[in-house]
Amino acid sequence: MSRFVLALDQGTSSSRAIVFDHSGGIVAGAQQPFEQIYPQPGWVEHDPEEIWRTQLETAREAVRRAHAGPGDIAAIGITNQRETTVIWDRDGRPVHNAIVWQDRRTAPICEELRARGLEPLFRERTGLLLDPYFSGTKVRWLLDNVPGLRLRAENGELLFGTVDSWLLYRLTGAHATDYTNASRTLMYNIFERRWDDELLEALAVPRALLPAVQASSGVFGETAALGGAVPVAGIAGDQQAALFGQAAFAPGMAKNTYGTGAFLLMNVGDRPVASPSLLTTIAWGLPSGSRDEVTYALEGSVFIAGAAVQWLRDELGFFARSADCEALAASVADSDGVYVVPAFVGLGAPHWDPHARGAIVGLTRGSNRAHITRATLEAMAYQTRDVIEAVERDAGVKLTELRVDGGAAANNLLLQIQADILGREVVRPAVLETTALGAAYLAGLAVGFWADREDVSRNWRVDRRFRPQMSAERRGELYRGWQRAVERAKGWAGGG
């Protein structure tokens, strides 16, 4: 009997593999960072071969550290940085670097589509908006800019996929994705659940490129990569996987993940909720009789969260390890009027300004590294409040508590600041690797390793609750300062 499930967590900054047991506990893991390629300001690429190599090596390493063999692994689940776009040929050779979700190069394509009056159509069918964030305009850019690509795509020689599909193709030879990843492409109708010909035409993307779309939990293929046949039985984009890993199965339940970016997702049930400043997206699609059952989510996507801590570490040299930011920020009582707006790649929800750029305001002669570091942690909390207010307005519900996860959620000061800025309780579960855990659950449910969602819910445990301690007056004053700071950062790269 297989004892474990293996999750492959292919993130923006690293590839991770984690072996989970039946209680949802971590048995072993391995992680490898990989190169971030910045060919021009605002452009971000990854090498698909490096993504594959680091993911395969970490998978093998995690299984080895678990003292396991392929026979011990009931199934593999894949979760991935979303929207990042790869095109490869039928021999599995990438034709270009992956264009990463953070990449802003397709802003002019978005503007062109908007000028043609197409934004309402995209919004209505995909739940997204016209922002360079999503895959569709990235595919279009590749076809328009890499010599020979469009012709080869039309001839059916090429395959497009988000990173899940890329890994699946290398692992099993199947060209497929799941509902959650499809829902981030700008090409998939999330209500009718099909690739949308009208949107494909607007984007000038040939249908022959596209993968098959399957349930997030179900067998996609078998891989021999671990030395014996193991089914790949679950796929979900990282944020949806985290929502699943937090066992947020009931409508109204929400989580916020503090990783490279910060992503708040709220389960809204089987009927999508439209929102002017947030995304409507597929939380997961699960097999149910003859037709898959789809659950929707409202999402507030904040592009830069923990990445701002990395920036303090790597570009400004404030400290050696990300975790050191907590002690430095705690060395001052407050940020002394300093605000950091980490709009390094524009602003996502709820502002959606691709021309915004980073800003530090409120500096005085006495401002120091500790104030700037503390203000960076506060920025994560303010950005989260921005999206929570939008979620509550648009979904018409009030969150009673916020479940949090992701690498930066290890930071106690950050979570206390978050509780203070929100005026709500913030709850941290015992397992912070909810992204990988969600992928493991999806895969394990498909092969009967876990019986059902109740089985999964029972595994969720609280590590610590953070209760608000700040006065309402102080909270309001600080937040108004943040809103003024954000206005200063908007439109910067547009020259306006």
Cβ nearer to ligand ATP, comparing 9 with 386 = 9
Could you say which of Mg ion, ligand ATP, none residue 14 binds, taking C-beta under 5 to 8 angstroms by partner kind?
Answer: ligand ATP
Token pair 């930066």 in the structure block, residue? 408
Nearest Cα residue to 106 out of 356, 354, 299: 354
Residue 439 phi, psi dihedral angles, 5° rounding: -65, -40
CB 376, min distance to ligand ATP, A:
9
Cβ nearer to ligand ATP, comparing 195 with 318 = 318
* Partners of residue 133 on adjacent β-strands: none
CB 281, min distance to ligand ATP, A:
17
Residue type, 430: A
What mask, x for binding Mg ion by CB under 5 A, covers residues 429 to 458?
A: ------x-----------------------
Do 11 and 82 form a contact (C-beta atoms < 8 A)?
no
Could you say which of ligand ATP, Mg ion, none residue 408 binds, taking C-beta under 5 to 8 angstroms by partner kind?
Answer: ligand ATP
Cβ nearer to ligand ATP, comparing 2 with 14 = 14
Q: Is the dihedral of CA 421, 489, 239, 63 positive or negative?
A: negative
d(CA 486, CA 213): 38
CB 110, min distance to ligand ATP, A:
23
- Interface with Mg ion (CB under 5 A), residue total 4
CB 17, min distance to Mg ion, A:
13
d(CA 143, CA 146): 6
CB 16, min distance to ligand ATP, A:
8
Could you say which of Mg ion, ligand ATP, none residue 204 binds, taking C-beta under 5 to 8 angstroms by partner kind?
Answer: none
What mask, x for binding Mg ion by CB under 5 A, covers residues 215 to 254?
A: -----------------------x----------------
Q: Is residue 259 close enough to count as binding Mg ion by CB under 5 A?
A: yes
Could you say which of ligand ATP, Mg ion, none residue 326 binds, taking C-beta under 5 to 8 angstroms by partner kind?
Answer: ligand ATP
Tell me the DSSP string of 195-214.
Answer: E-HHHHHHHT--GGGPPEEE
Give burial (CB, 10 Å; 0-12/13-18/19+) of 330.
middle
Could you say which of ligand ATP, Mg ion, none residue 178 binds, taking C-beta under 5 to 8 angstroms by partner kind?
Answer: none
Do 303 and 261 form a contact (C-beta atoms < 8 A)?
yes
Q: 3-state DSSP call for residue 264?
A: strand
Could you say which of ligand ATP, Mg ion, none residue 325 binds, taking C-beta under 5 to 8 angstroms by partner kind?
Answer: ligand ATP
CB 258, min distance to ligand ATP, A:
6
Residues 6+ apart with CB under 8 A from 57: 30, 32
Cβ nearer to ligand ATP, comparing 206 with 406 = 406
CB 102, min distance to Mg ion, A:
13
Q: Is residue 11 close enough to count as binding Mg ion by CB under 5 A?
A: yes
Q: Is residue 29 close enough to count as binding Mg ion by CB under 5 A?
A: no
* Residues in touch with ligand ATP (CB under 6 A): 11-14, 81, 238, 259-260, 306-307, 309-310, 322-323, 325-326, 406-408, 410-411, 414
Cβ nearer to Mg ion, comparing 10 with 383 = 10
CB 143, min distance to Mg ion, A:
29
Residues 6+ apart with CB under 8 A from 106: 132, 137, 138, 140, 141
Cβ nearer to ligand ATP, comparing 150 with 403 = 403
Q: What angle do CA 455, 461, 467 make, to 5 degrees?
A: 145
Cβ nearer to Mg ion, comparing 10 with 137 = 10
CB 20, min distance to Mg ion, A:
16
Could you say which of Mg ion, ligand ATP, none residue 310 binds, taking C-beta under 5 to 8 angstroms by partner kind?
Answer: ligand ATP
Cβ nearer to Mg ion, comparing 298 with 439 = 439
Could you say which of ligand ATP, Mg ion, none residue 306 binds, taking C-beta under 5 to 8 angstroms by partner kind?
Answer: ligand ATP
CB 434, min distance to ligand ATP, A:
9
Cβ nearer to ligand ATP, comparing 8 with 174 = 8
* Partners of residue 26 on adjacent β-strands: 20
Residues 6+ apart with CB under 8 A from 352: 129, 131, 277
Cβ nearer to ligand ATP, comparing 13 with 367 = 13
Whose CB is nearest to Mg ion? 11
Rg of the chain, C-alpha, whole Å: 21
The one-character DSSP state at 314 is H
CA distances from 190 to 83, 261, 378, 475 (A): 15, 24, 35, 38
Cβ nearer to ligand ATP, comparing 409 with 486 = 409
Residues 6+ apart with CB under 8 A from 8: 15, 16, 17, 55, 58, 59, 76, 77, 78, 79, 167, 436, 439
Q: Which stretch binds Mg ion (CB under 5 A): 3-11, 206-214, 319-327, 347-355?
A: 3-11
Whole-angstrom distance between the N-terminal and C-terminal Cα of the chain?
64
Cβ nearer to ligand ATP, comparing 57 with 119 = 57
Nearest Cα residue to 345 out of 183, 131, 184, 181: 131
Contacts with Mg ion, residue ranges (CB under 5 A): 11, 238, 259, 435
